[in-house]
């Protein structure tokens, strides 16, 4: 039986021991993992932790404000860093999914390293959980927040890495969140990939294409809020389809809607979404986003698919 209170106590002690009198930085995204990690570390070292929200331009609508409001309400040291231009520059022209992850990761750590230097911090806290480690070791995907496993020596960044959630999986992380009185909008938040909407834009990640993806994501999330799922998403394809706009042929974008059920993200099953809901999503996307002319639903479980498209 997992006991969140005991886990918190143990990790707070351990984090105190590791950070000592030093200063720590954590990059927060609004996801349950980094939120829990930040709150837990704050409990251990108070204001010697700075929570940094790196605005990469790849977040969902309103996400940055929501995250900053949470940390400010808890009186934690929090900083927002606007780095969208840097991320879009790094992603320019890249279509290969793993290359995109690498570009994202390099930019992410570049920005973070800068913040760490500015803050004079010697520790970096990360919300890595057991599933991240497992999937990266197996070589399925390169998760952006794994350093050692992919041969990057944190020491070369001059940093001690602190990962209090490394041993536990998502359901336990949520238990810890509830125990730390993190509000449900964060503790029950569906997983969202580190590289954000870039994972859901097939082909080149440009500000214009991310904006289409962001609007489609909002519609899918709104229309499926009552449908039980582990994750609910829109994905922008790299191809175009023939459609009709204003009575004329138009080559428009294609959006795939995907909802999956899963316990641990290791396997997943496509959700049987009511047809009326799917039709409403399709109608809203093609009406509210004129660049999109075709909407599809993804039927494939994991494996052989993965949850994200890339």
Which residues are at the interface with ligand XMP (CB under 6 A)?
101, 135, 140-141, 143-145, 191, 193-195, 199, 231, 265, 302, 306-308
C-beta closer to ligand XMP: residue 101 or 215: 101
Shortest Å, Cβ 188 to ligand XMP: 14
Shortest Å, Cβ 20 to ligand XMP: 28
Shortest Å, Cβ 227 to ligand XMP: 17
C-beta closer to ligand XMP: residue 193 or 282: 193
Tokens for 38? 């930040």
C-beta closer to ligand XMP: residue 151 or 304: 304
Shortest Å, Cβ 270 to ligand XMP: 12
C-beta closer to ligand XMP: residue 109 or 243: 109
Shortest Å, Cβ 43 to ligand XMP: 23
C-beta closer to ligand XMP: residue 205 or 293: 205
C-beta closer to ligand XMP: residue 8 or 268: 268
Shortest Å, Cβ 230 to ligand XMP: 7
C-beta closer to ligand XMP: residue 199 or 217: 199
Shortest Å, Cβ 259 to ligand XMP: 12
- Whether cis (ω within 30° of 0) applies to the bond prior to 304 is yes
């Amino acid at each position: 039986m997992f006991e969140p209170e005991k886990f918190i106590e143990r990790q707070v002690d351990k984090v105190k021991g590791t950070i000592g009198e030093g200063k720590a930085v954590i990059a927060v995204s609004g996801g349950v993992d980094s939120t829990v990690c930040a709150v837990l570390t704050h409990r251990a070292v108070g204001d010697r932790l700075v929570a940094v929200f790196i605005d990469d331009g790849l977040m969902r609508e309103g996400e940055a404000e929501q995250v900053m409001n949470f940390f400010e309400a808890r009186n934690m040291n929090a900083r927002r860093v606007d780095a969208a231009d840097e991320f879009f520059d790094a992603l320019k022209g890249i279509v290969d999914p793993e290359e995109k992850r690498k570009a994202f990761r390099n930019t992410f750590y570049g920005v973070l390293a800068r913040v760490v230097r500015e803050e004079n911090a010697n520790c970096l806290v990360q919300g890595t959980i057991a599933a991240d480690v497992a999937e990266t070791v197996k070589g399925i995907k390169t998760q952006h927040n794994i350093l050692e496993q992919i041969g990057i020596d944190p020491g070369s960044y001059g940093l001690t890495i602190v990962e209090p959630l490394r041993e536990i999986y998502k359901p336990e992380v949520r238990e810890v969140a509830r125990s730390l009185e993190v509000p449900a909008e964060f503790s029950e938040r569906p997983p969202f990939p580190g590289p954000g909407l870039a994972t859901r834009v097939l082909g080149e990640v440009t500000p214009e294409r991310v904006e289409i993806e962001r609007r489609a994501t909002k519609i899918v999330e709104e229309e499926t809020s009552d449908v039980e799922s582990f994750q609910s998403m829109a994905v922008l394809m790299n191809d175009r389809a023939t459609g009709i706009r204003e009575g004329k042929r138009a080559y428009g974008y294609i959006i795939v809607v995907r909802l999956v059920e899963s316990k641990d993200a290791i396997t997943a099953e496509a959700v049987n979404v009511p047809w009326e809901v799917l039709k409403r999503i399709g109608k809203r996307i093609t009406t509210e986003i004129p660049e999109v002319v075709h909407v599809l639903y993804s039927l494939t479980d994991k494996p052989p698919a993965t949850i994200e498209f890339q």
